[in-house]
Amino acid sequence: MLDILFVMIFGLSGRVLAKDTDTKGRFSSPVLDVTEKQLIIERNQTLQLNCRGRWELQWVLPSGVPKVYNGTQIEESSCGRKNNQYCSRLTLSPALAQHTGSYRCRYRQKQRKQASVYVYITDSQRPFVKVQSGTPDVVFMKKGEPLIFPCRVTNPNAKVSLVKEFPLTPLTPDYQTIIWNSRHGFTVRSPTFFYIGFFSCETIVNGVKYTNKFVTHRTVNNIMDVYLNTTGLVQTLQGHMLALNCTVTAEWNSRVSISWTYPGKANGSATITRRISRSKTNMLFFSILTIPRLSKSDRGLYKCHVTSGPSKRETNTTVIVYDQPFIRLKRRDGPVVQASAGQKSFRLTPKLKAFPAPEIIWLKDGMVAAERCSRYHVDGFSLVIRDVAEEDAGIYTILAGIQQYGLFQNLTITLVVNVKPEIGEKTVSSRQPGTVQRGSRQALRCTTYGVPPPHIQWLWHPCPQKGLS
Ligand SMILES: *[C@@H]1O[C@H](CO)[C@@H](O)[C@H](O)[C@H]1NC(C)=O
Ligand SMILES: *[C@@H]1O[C@H](CO)[C@@H](O)[C@H](O)[C@H]1NC(C)=O
Ligand SMILES: *[C@@H]1O[C@H](CO)[C@@H](O)[C@H](O)[C@H]1NC(C)=O
Ligand SMILES: *[C@@H]1O[C@H](CO)[C@@H](O)[C@H](O)[C@H]1NC(C)=O
Ligand SMILES: *[C@@H]1O[C@H](CO)[C@@H](O)[C@H](O)[C@H]1NC(C)=O
Ligand SMILES: *[C@@H]1O[C@H](CO)[C@@H](O)[C@H](O)[C@H]1NC(C)=O
Ligand SMILES: *[C@@H]1O[C@H](CO)[C@@H](O)[C@H](O)[C@H]1NC(C)=O
């Protein structure tokens, strides 16, 4: 008796709790009115799904449902107790076998939040979702990837077999190497050469045999890698030479074609040379684009396009051509910058643009900064000061130089280090209030320190009168 009572109370409180948390995190994803993961309806019936959520909703229908189809209706309304929820009703009438698939309701703005149900629309005259026109479908076989014969069915209980033709060999799904799934068809985990050829999915309904036929095709058009020896940005000077090397790694026996697009293509300003080499496992194709003397008009995007049968790849780089070498050095924030003593680190960063890369030296008060103090180091072209101290105040100069072209620039920045005000007397000892003679002359001292020098203000607090407190 006690046991039963306990269970009842426990069960009840458990449910109340669940409901509470439910309201809190409610509709973080939309909710469908069907709780089953799958539905089975018959052809010509009406499919109706209701979805509810906190934000605007959107339906994603199986590819077999035409984009424009007057059998599909979507009615949207506001709902919920305060009318602050979104409801959407999908009606599909009549439902047809080819509409079999996953129906998803998701948030328009948060598309990963979704609810879905898989709907089978059974039709004894159409056991496969797809009806073939006679020629088999091509399925591509890729090295290291599973092979899928996509013979989806309209009834989850359909008995389907996979058959290899010439020689006729029935293949039984063993759920290790061959897997049957009514929503996907047959999957062969690690296809071997045996799987090259003609195959069919077969099922018999009311004594009639239905098939989906496939031919597998092993592609040797596999581009494995495309590589440009300078990705990102190429910066260079007018009159200099540009050479870009596009390297393609592809499977043995594959053929690739490499082409370039670049700003001077119409003028034919580049020469292109090709080379092929073979290694034990794959082929390497090189295409080298050379422009012997660059002009301003050669600046822009250089693309290397690679095609091999149906596969396509491309890679690119941007080329910037400067008229002449230069250094542009400017202050970021005025001639005086401020830091505070005790700060973990402080960075002096002027605006610097230069080509080619200049050498950088930082001076502090006329001496090389990094040699003056171990807390200073140069990072890129910035000077970083660790654990800022009062003594770091001073005049800093950045020298930027490109020796090769005799270009030099410098810039001076004054650093002020602020120090928090301190009262000297406070650090010694806090004096106890003493007694002094009435009418006598007293001097109180306050010594302060800080950068900038602090202002001093005296305040007087009268003592509480005896007997009042
Ligand atoms: C569905 O409707 C079509 C056209 O109205 C009809 O020819 C067919 O027999 C119906 N199928 C079923 C299973 O009711
Ligand atoms: C659309 O609706 C009309 C009228 O209800 C109907 O005659 C027609 O067959 C339907 N289908 C298409 C594809 O237009
Ligand atoms: C092109 O680049 C590849 C990869 O860096 C290199 O192996 C090859 O030798 C280069 N080709 C030429 C002609 O420089
Ligand atoms: C890219 O390859 C070309 C040709 O081999 C070579 O001349 C050029 O210096 C290479 N560029 C880089 C940045 O390695
Ligand atoms: C093509 O050549 C003409 C004449 O030499 C030149 O004016 C033009 O800038 C060039 N265009 C490109 C994209 O190189
Ligand atoms: C250039 O390549 C990068 C990365 O490889 C790619 O993100 C970018 O879209 C490409 N740019 C163009 C214009 O093709
Ligand atoms: C900084 O540049 C000026 C001219 O802009 C030059 O007179 C001065 O000597 C330079 N200072 C240093 C430290 O190189």
Give the CATH number of the domain where residue 409 resides: 2.60.40.10
| Nearest ligand (C-alpha, residue 96) | 1
CA of 265 to the centre of ligand 5 (A): 10
Same domain, residue pair 306 and 227: yes
- Structurally, the chain folds into a number of domains equal to 4
In a domain, 307, yes or no: yes
Same domain, residue pair 406 and 393: yes
Same domain, residue pair 203 and 147: yes
Same domain, residue pair 166 and 80: no
Specify the pLDDT at position 308: 85
- Asked which of 322, 351, 381 is the last residue of a domain, the reply is 322
Same domain, residue pair 266 and 297: yes
In ligand 7, the atom with minimum distance to the C-alpha of 399 is 14
Specify the pLDDT at position 428: 56
Residue 316, ligand 6, Cβ within 6 A: yes
Same domain, residue pair 403 and 350: yes
Specify the pLDDT at position 404: 92
Domain of residue 414: give its range. 326-421
Same domain, residue pair 77 and 163: no
Same domain, residue pair 243 and 330: no
In a domain, 426, yes or no: no
Pocket test for ligand 1, best of 41, 42, 44, 124 (most atoms within 8 A of CB): 44
In a domain, 35, yes or no: yes
| Nearest ligand (C-alpha, residue 410) | 7
pTM, two decimal places: 0.49
Distances (CA, A) of 460 to 206, 432, 437, 439, 455: 107, 16, 18, 17, 17
CA 330-335-340 angle, to 5 degrees, is: 120
CA of 293 to the centre of ligand 5 (A): 13
Residue 301, ligand 6, Cβ within 6 A: yes
In ligand 7, the atom with minimum distance to the C-alpha of 397 is 13
In a domain, 56, yes or no: yes
Q: Whose CA is nearest to atom 14 of ligand 5?
A: 264
Pocket test for ligand 1, best of 41, 43, 99, 121 (most atoms within 8 A of CB): 43
Specify the pLDDT at position 27: 86
In a domain, 174, yes or no: yes
In a domain, 427, yes or no: no
Q: Which residues line ligand 7 (CB under 6 A)?
A: 397, 399, 410
Q: Which residues line ligand 1 (CB under 6 A)?
A: 42-44
Specify the pLDDT at position 107: 94
Same domain, residue pair 181 and 153: yes
For the chain, residues with pLDDT lower than 70 are: 1-25, 219-221, 253, 427-434, 466-469
In a domain, 294, yes or no: yes
In ligand 5, the atom with minimum distance to the C-alpha of 265 is 13
Same domain, residue pair 116 and 45: yes
Residue 288, ligand 3, Cβ within 6 A: yes
In ligand 4, the atom with minimum distance to the C-alpha of 288 is 4
Beta bridge partners of 267: none
CA of 225 to the centre of ligand 2 (A): 51
- Asked which of 122, 149, 167 is the last residue of a domain, the reply is 122
Same domain, residue pair 296 and 352: no
Same domain, residue pair 333 and 369: yes
Pocket test for ligand 3, best of 247, 271, 283, 284 (most atoms within 8 A of CB): 247
Specify the pLDDT at position 438: 85
Q: Which residues line ligand 4 (CB under 6 A)?
A: 229-230, 243, 245, 288
Specify the pLDDT at position 446: 84
Residue 230, ligand 3, Cβ within 6 A: no
Q: Whose CA is nearest to atom 8 of ligand 7?
A: 410
Residue 229, ligand 3, Cβ within 6 A: yes
**For residues 140 and 177, is the Cβ–Cβ distance under 8 A?**
no
- Asked which of 92, 122, 152 is the last residue of a domain, the reply is 122
In a domain, 338, yes or no: yes
CA of 247 to the centre of ligand 3 (A): 7
Pocket test for ligand 4, best of 227, 229, 241, 317 (most atoms within 8 A of CB): 229
